[in-house]
Amino acid sequence: MLLCPVIGKLLHKRVVLASASPRRQEILSNAGLRFEVVPSKFKEKLDKASFATPYGYAMETAKQKALEVANRMHQTVGGLILEKPVDKQDAYRMLSRLSGREHSVFTGVAIVHCSSKDHQLDTTVSEFYEETKVKFSELSEELLWEYVHSGEPMDKAGGYGIQALGGMLVESIHGDFLNVVGFPLNHFCKQLVKLYYPPRPEDLRRSVKHDSIPAADTFEDLSDVEGGGSEPAQRDASSRDEKAEAGEAGQAAAEAECHRTRETLPPFPTRLLELIEGFMLSKALFTACKLKVFDLLKDEAPQKAVDIASKVDASACGTERLLDICAAMGLLEKTEQGYSNTETANVYLASDGEYSLHGFIMHNNDLTWNLFTYLEFAIREGTNQHHRALGKKVEDLFQDVYYQSPETRLRFMRAMHGMTKLTACQVATAFNLSHFSSACDVGGCTGALARELAREYPRMQVTVFDLPDIIELAAHFQPPGPQAGQIHFAAGDFFRDPLPSAELYVLCRILHDWPDDKVHKLLSRVADSCKPGAGLLLVETLLVETLLDEEKRVAQRTLMQSLNMLVQTEGKKRSLGEYQCLLEVHGFHQVQVVHLGGVLDAILATKVAP
């Protein structure tokens, strides 16, 4: 292991990463380093025109970031690669320039070695850069915008994340992959060896490469005092054999010490700690939304924490801490002028945005959060936990929980509206539905999907069918527009009342709420309303049938949704095979499936004559 001889020395030092990049933290943690994170306050506004090369700019920026933290903290490691897009248009322009071309990714790294003499900070800077050449495929405008709208480019320097979705854009790479991710680990390790394990004259005489792993027999000679070294030993020329034996013994001892260190220092559990503390981040986001912080900062100039605190009726110290963690999560920008929204916050977290998730977040804060405190009971009992959360027996899940008051009903509708808006366009275009002249969105809530169907298919008339209490409020979610004449609202209970006549029935995230007997009942009612050739469009999160799925993040979200169903509903997630069996029992065949991205899948089936 390249860092093995050095880690022992670093254990007794304060190692600081002067960057908030989670990718750099992960890379260094996986290398076995233990460090703290202190993001630099240095403003990355150096004049690029004054640098002869891109790597010169990168190295100087990294050095200034590291020195800024060193003056505060006394020891730093830091780095910078490329700049992040300021908005979606900037991301698109950046990626368009890269399309079909090879570009270089430069990372400048500055290592600041600190010591204190007479209460004065003394620093020694070692800096280097790494270049990796990346070639993009020829990318269509549609693909570029799809990637931009995924949100991934917005927090990625260079406008793409090669370790995530952005990897699909890359045709080839020449050089260090981790350098493109965010940190040149191999070069960094070699640089640490040079700093903490410089070659001795006798090593050079043996033609040992400068950046190779040093011989372990010299490791014991390293002084723990910064800038120090071992004193020259007084040895007689006649004792060369003894020296050789001592050298071999010293090497063996050093290797044993190194192995002991490795045994007692398992890889730092960064990912595990993120999971353990993840609920804190969620609650911080929920609280910021509840206080309307993102509404307050939308399209406004940066504001100071004390001013924001007075407007949300909260303490200045508490507000500042909340704002800081929101900035660390990439939801806010923090500058000398104050705090401001990121593009993500403006689009998704402000409550009045077209694609706002504010309602969904409040639903999770007010309902889901409390239910998950009873997760242990749900697992032991195999049933939802509304009775414990409410302190009373629940007869009707929706009437007693989601619709128990106008406030809870509106909260639920806002949550469903926000989530449906995110994927409505993908659902409407997953299949060619132009041959259907009418559709019924069963349990369509606010009509968000109905509006997208009407927009995509101008000949289609769409009926939103839901409970009377929902239909009463649904019209408030419908903005004016040419699609208004295509959309109709009908009140009723889809388990009891006749369904409106249609050529296409849509069940969007409905079946997963119910157990098998009620699913069969609902599908039977839909089948009875269909003529041969009619269609049934299901939108659900299909349960993965194996954990060997390549997209493990998707699998994780899907399985978490399955756990959520246990805690909240009477239903469950089902696999594609289970849905095919359910559909065939009720006369629906010719099943087609399209994965919509995220965790949703669309299933289209056709009613055939008995």
Residue with the bigger pLDDT between 546 and 370: it is 370
Q: What is the Cα 41 distance to its own chain's centre?
A: 24
Catalytic annotation on 476?
no
Q: Are 290 and 365 in contact (CB under 8 A)?
A: yes
Of the candidates 444, 443, 445, 441, which has an alpha carbon nearest to the alpha carbon of residue 433? 441
- Ramachandran bin of 509, using left for φ above 0, alpha for ψ from -120 to 50, beta for the remaining angles: left
Q: What is the pLDDT of residue 377?
A: 94
Is there a contact between 385 and 368 (Cβ–Cβ < 8 Å)? Answer: no
Of residues 39 and 295, which shows the higher confidence score? Answer: 295
| Residue 67 binned pLDDT confidence (cut-offs 50, 70, 90) | confident
> Rounded to an integer, what distance in angstroms lies between the CA atom of residue 479 and that of residue 470?
17
pLDDT at 232: 38
Instruction: For residue 180, give the 3-state DSSP assignment.
Output: helix
Give me 426's structure tokens: 């993908």
Please give the structure tokens belonging to residue 356: 């706002």
Mean pLDDT of 62-89: 59
588 against 177, higher pLDDT: 588
| Domain 275-361 falls under CATH 1.10.10.10 | yes
Residue 217 has pLDDT above 90, yes or no: no
Spatial contact of 68 and 46, defined as CB atoms under 8 Å apart = no
Q: Is 60 exceeded by the pLDDT of residue 8? A: no
**Residue 423 in tokens:** 């994927």
Asked whether residue 555 carries a pLDDT value surpassing 90, the answer given is no
What number is the average pLDDT over the span 381-385? 90
Which of the four pLDDT bands, split at 50, 70 and 90, describes residue 431? very high
* pLDDT, position 242: 46
pLDDT tens digits along 333-346:
999 999 999 999 99
* Band of residue 260 on the pLDDT scale cut at 50, 70, 90: low
DSSP single-letter state for residue 49:
G
Backbone dihedral angles phi then psi of residue 441, each to the nearest 5 degrees = -90, 100
The C-alpha atoms of residue 310 and residue 97 are separated, in whole angstroms, by: 45
Q: According to CATH, what is the number of the domain 3-199?
A: 3.90.950.10
The answer to whether residue 255 scores a pLDDT higher than 60 is no
Helix (H) or strand (E) holding 185: helix 185-196
On whether the CB atoms of residues 494 and 525 are closer than 8 A, the answer is yes
Distance (Å, whole) CA 126 – CA 201: 22
549, 555 in Cβ contact below 8 A? yes
3-state helix, strand, coil in the chain (%, to 5): 50, 15, 35
Q: What are phi and psi of 417, to 5 degrees?
A: -65, -45
Predicted pLDDT at 200: 60
Q: Is the pLDDT of residue 494 over 60?
A: yes
Q: Could you read off the pLDDT of 33-47 as tens digits, one per residue? A: 776 777 777 777 777
- CA triplet 165, 271, 318: central angle to 5 degrees? 100
- CA separation for the pair 358, 366 (Å, rounded): 12
| Residue that the structure tokens 């469009």 belong to | 537
pLDDT beyond 80 at 7: no
Q: Over the Cα atoms of the chain, what is R_g?
A: 30
Whether residue 60 is predicted with pLDDT greater than 50 in this model: the reply is yes
Give the residue with greater pLDDT, 490 vs 54.
490
H or E, element range at 453: helix 448-456
Least confident interval from 86-90, 132-136, 148-152, 232-236: 232-236
- The span from the CA of 490 to the CA of 499, in Å, is 9
Which tops the pLDDT comparison, 286 or 598? Answer: 286
Please state, in angstroms and rounded to a whole number, the distance separating the CA atoms of residues 428 and 457.
Answer: 9
Query: Quick one: pLDDT band at residue 305, thresholds 50, 70, 90?
Result: very high
List the catalytic residue out of 187, 363, 417, 512: 512
Q: What is the pLDDT of residues 398-423, one digit of tens each?
A: 666 666 778 888 888 999 999 999 88
Mean pLDDT of all residues in 353-373: 91
Comparing 488 with 220, which gets the higher pLDDT? 488
Model pLDDT, residue 215? 45
- What pLDDT, in 10s, does the model give residues 453-481? 999 999 999 999 999 989 988 877 877 77
Task: Report the C-alpha gap between 313 and 306 in whole angstroms.
Answer: 10
Give backbone dihedrals phi and psi of 277, rounded to 5 degrees, phi first.
-95, 5
Of the listed ranges 46-60, 221-235, 282-296, the one predicted with least confidence = 221-235
More confident residue, 411 or 375: 375
Domain ranges of the chain: 3-199, 275-361, 406-607
Q: Which residue has the higher pLDDT, 324 or 157?
A: 324
Q: List, as one string, the DSSP characters of 463-505.
A: EEEE-HHHHHHHGGG---SGGGGGEEEEE--TTTSPPPP-SEE
Sign of CA dihedral 589, 549, 598, 385: positive
pLDDT at 96: 83
Are 378 and 385 contacting, i.e. CB atoms less than 8 angstroms apart?
Answer: yes
The predicted-structure confidence for 77-88, as pLDDT tens digits, reads as follows 223 334 677 788
| Mean local confidence (pLDDT), 101-130 | 76
What is the per-residue pLDDT for 234? 39
- For 521-547, how does the pLDDT look when each residue is reduced to its tens digit (9 = 90+)? 999 999 999 999 999 999 998 876 544
Alpha carbon of 405 to those of 359, 387, 409, 476: distances in Å?
16, 17, 6, 17
Of residues 603, 548, 598, 550, the one with CA closest to residue 576:
603
Mean pLDDT of 42-56: 75
d(CA 421, CA 402): 20
What six digits make up the tokens of 147? Answer: 């990637």
* The pLDDT of residue 593: 92
**Residue ranges of E strands in 93-167:** 102-117, 120-136
* Cα 569 to Cα 417, 557, 572, distances in angstroms: 19, 17, 8
Would you say residue 450 has pLDDT above 60?
A: yes
Distances (CA, A) of 178 to 165, 174, 274: 16, 11, 21
Match 């889901």 to its residue by tokens. Answer: 368
Q: Is the pLDDT of residue 138 over 80?
A: yes
> Whole-model pTM?
0.57
Please tell us whether the domain made up of 406-607 is placed in CATH 3.40.50.150: yes
Average model confidence (pLDDT) for the chain? 80
Identify residue 523 by its one-letter amino acid code: L
pLDDT cut 70: percent of the chain above it: 77
What would the mean pLDDT of 12-34 be, rounded to a whole number?
A: 73
